[in-house]
Amino acid sequence: MTNPPTADGGPSAPPGATSDAAPRRRRRRWPRVLIVLGVVIVLVVGAAAIYAVTIERSVTSNITRATGLLPDPAPGASGSTPATPARRATGTLNYVLLGSDSRDPNNEGNGRSDTIMVVHLNKARTKAYIVSFPRDMYVTIPGYGKNKINAAFSYGGSPLTVRTLESLTGVQMDHVVLVDFTGFIDLTNDLGGVTVTNKTAFSKAGYDFPKGKITIKGTQALWFVRERDSLPRGDLDRAENQRNVIKAIVAKGLSAGVISDPARFTSFMGNVAKHLTVDSSLSDNEIRDTALSLRLNSSDIEQLQAPISGFGTTSDGQSIDVVDTAQLQELGDALQNDTMAAYVKKYPAE
C-alpha cells in the first residue's frame, strides 16, 4: 500500500499503535459563539432569513456544486468498504465540513483535509451541534486499515472521508461542504482586517506576529494560520489560530456595521459562498427550506470534540489521538436517535 504524502504534517500508514501516554482532556471548551469552520454551513444555510431574496440569490449563485463528494451507497467491489448506514427516521440532518487547501473534491494523493467536522441539526431545528474530529485521530479507514483520520482525504478524497466518518459513528452523512481555506482567509481583505489574540510571538515570511491582540489580513493572515513550527504545540496551536481567525471573520461579517449595510453584507455572503463547494444533491430548494426551518441563535449552537482518551504513538513513532471507543459509540447513538441534548448533558464541555 502506498502512503499518502507526509509533507507539512501529512499522514502515514503505520502498522500499529500504542496508547501508553497520559490521557488528556476529552473535549476542549470553545467559546459559545458562531465559530470555526463549522459555522460556515450554519451561516450559509441560515442566510436566506436575512434580506431574504437578495441574500439567497447571492449565496446560491456563488456556491459551487460538484458530483462525487458523497460516497457510492453500495459496498466496494472488494467487500472491504461497508454499505452506507441506514437512513435516519428522526428528521435530523448531518453535514460534513472539510477544510482544505484544495477545492478538488477528489484530490487523491495530493490534497489533505486539516479540518474535519460534522454539523448536526436536530429535528426541531432548535439546536445545532458542531462535532470536531481531530486530524490525528487513529481510526480504521475503509479499505486501507488503521491510520490518522485525515489520511482518508489523501487516499480517496471527500467520498472516503465521509465513508470513514460513517463507519466510525454508524451514522449516515447527508451532505458535504468543502471549504477552500486559503480563499476563505482572503475574506479578511474584504473586511479590512480582523483582530485576533496571538498567544505566541513569531515571525514568518517577513511578517512579525507579536504576542497579544493583532490585526491581520490577506497574505499576512494566511501565513499566520499556516505556521506551526514556531508554536509550542505545533499542529494543535496552528488549528487554534485557524479557528480564531475564522471566528474573527464570522464575527466581523455578522457585526452591526456590516449587517446594517445591505450591499456590504450581501457582498460578504456572496464571497463566503464563492469559497464553498457542496455536493450536487444540496439543492437551492433544500437550502431555502432548511433556512426557513431554523430556530437558532448563538446560544443554541453546541461545540464539542469527538471523544479521545489520550495520546498514543505508532510503532514508527507517529503521534496519534486514541479514540475513546465507548463514548464514541454513545455519540453515534445520539446522532442517530436525535438525543444529542442528553449526550451533551452527560458529557458537558470542561
Cβ atoms of 90 and 64 within 8 Å: the answer is no
Digit-coded pLDDT (tens) for 109-146? 445 567 888 989 999 999 988 888 888 899 999 999 99
What is the DSSP secondary-structure string of 35-100?
Answer: -TTHHHHHHHHHGGGSSHHHHHHHHHTT-EEETTSSPPSSPPTTS-SPPPPPPPSS--EEEEEEEE
For domain 187-274, give the CATH superfamily.
LCP protein (3.40.630.190)
At residue 261, the pLDDT reads 80
User: Is it the case that residue 336 has pLDDT exceeding 70?
Assistant: yes
SS3 141: strand
At residue 260, the pLDDT reads 74
Digit-coded pLDDT (tens) for 236-280? 677 778 777 877 887 788 777 887 787 888 888 888 888 889 999
Give domain limits for the chain.
17-180+281-345, 187-274
Cβ atoms of 41 and 119 within 8 Å: the answer is yes
User: Is it the case that residue 216 has pLDDT exceeding 70?
Assistant: yes
Q: How far is CA 168 from the centre of its chain?
A: 16
Q: How many helices (H) and strands (E) does the chain have?
A: 12, 16
C-alpha grid cell, residue 14: 503505520
Cβ atoms of 59 and 273 within 8 Å: the answer is yes
Q: By CB neighbour count within 10 A (0-12 exposed, 13-18 middle, 19+ buried), where does 299 fall?
A: exposed
SS3 124: coil
Digit-coded pLDDT (tens) for 150-184? 999 999 999 999 999 999 999 999 999 988 877 77
In whole angstroms, what is the distance from residue 42 CA to residue 127 CA? 11
CA nearest 247: which of 42, 99, 31?
A: 31
Whether the pTM exceeds 0.85: the reply is no
Phi-psi region of 303 (alpha: psi -120 to 50; beta: other; left: phi over 0): beta
Name the residue with higher pLDDT: 290 or 47: 290
CATH class of 17-180+281-345: alpha beta
At residue 166, the pLDDT reads 96
The dihedral of CA 221, 270, 33, 339: what is its sign?
negative
User: pLDDT grade, residue 41 (50/70/90)?
Assistant: low
Percent of the chain with pLDDT over 70: 75
